[in-house]
Amino acid sequence: MATTSPTMRRAGLCGALLALTLLLSACGFHLRGQGSQYLLPFPTLYVGLPESSPLAIDLKRTVRAYGGTTIVATPKEADGIIEVLSDPEKTRSKSILSLNASGRVRQYLLSYAIVFQVRDQQGNLLLGPTQINLTRALDFNETQLLAKEQEEALLYKDMQSDLVQQMMRRMAAIKPVAAMSLAPDVPARAPASAPQQ
């Protein structure tokens, strides 16, 4: 029986990984948040959330990570201004999703929601009020309270990351007002009619 050498096995493994990579890239797969789709259309950005807000911290970190946009401290310095229309204190909620046969909680529904819009320095609306709602189900077991608290915190953190990615996608799709105003605002004229014979 023929045996394979470690070198041949390594070459086979590398070949399989290369084939898998090519297959994933051919089907359009990208790691979440990768690519130029998150390049924002303004050089400076103001985030209208409290400095200590975990969402603000995560959003600012993500904006800085993609480069091209600088976070500024006041709206007057910003080309793009994120205005949060929902109450920042009520972005997270927890409600009972289901009960067991004895009437005790079996599952909770965790929610994370935000309504925001984006304006430019002149007050033009670049992105109208946009609502993002995320939910996750949390199985509950009262004999594992500490573990379930940790799981809840992780689920909220995952939803927050997802929320930031969705906000980035929507902002990256904004077409700046300046670019649209480059075309002269001249009313279209009707073509001159041919002189009658």
The model's pLDDT over 130-188, given as tens digits with 9 standing for 90+, comes to 999 999 999 999 889 999 999 999 999 999 999 999 999 999 999 865 444 434 444 44
For the segment 53-66, the average pLDDT, to the nearest whole number, is: 93
* pLDDT value of residue 176: 63
State the pLDDT at residue 175. Answer: 81
pLDDT of residue 150: 95
pLDDT at 59: 95
pLDDT > 50? residue 23:
no
DSSP annotation of 54 reads: H
Note if the pTM is more than 0.75. Answer: no
From residue 56, give the alpha-carbon distance in Å to each of 60, 163, 165, 195: 6, 11, 13, 66
Mean pLDDT value of segment 50-75: 93
Domain definitions of the chain by residue range: 33-174
Closest Cα partner for 156 from 86, 99, 94? 94
Between CA 133 and CA 115 the distance in angstroms is 9
Q: How confident is the model at residue 5 (pLDDT cuts 50, 70, 90)?
A: low
Which of the pair, 8 or 20, is modelled with greater confidence? 8
> What are the pLDDT digits (tens) for 89-146?
788 999 999 999 999 999 999 999 999 999 999 999 999 999 999 999 999 998 899 9
Higher pLDDT, 10 or 64: 64
CATH topology of domain 33-174: Double Stranded RNA Binding Domain (3.30.160)
CA–CA dist 12, 15 (Å, integer): 5
**For range 15-42, the mean pLDDT:** 53
What is the residue whose two structure tokens read 């972005």?
91
Instruction: Please count the CA atoms within 13 angstroms of the CA of 124 that sit on its side-chain side.
Output: 14
Confidence tier at 66 by pLDDT (50, 70, 90): confident
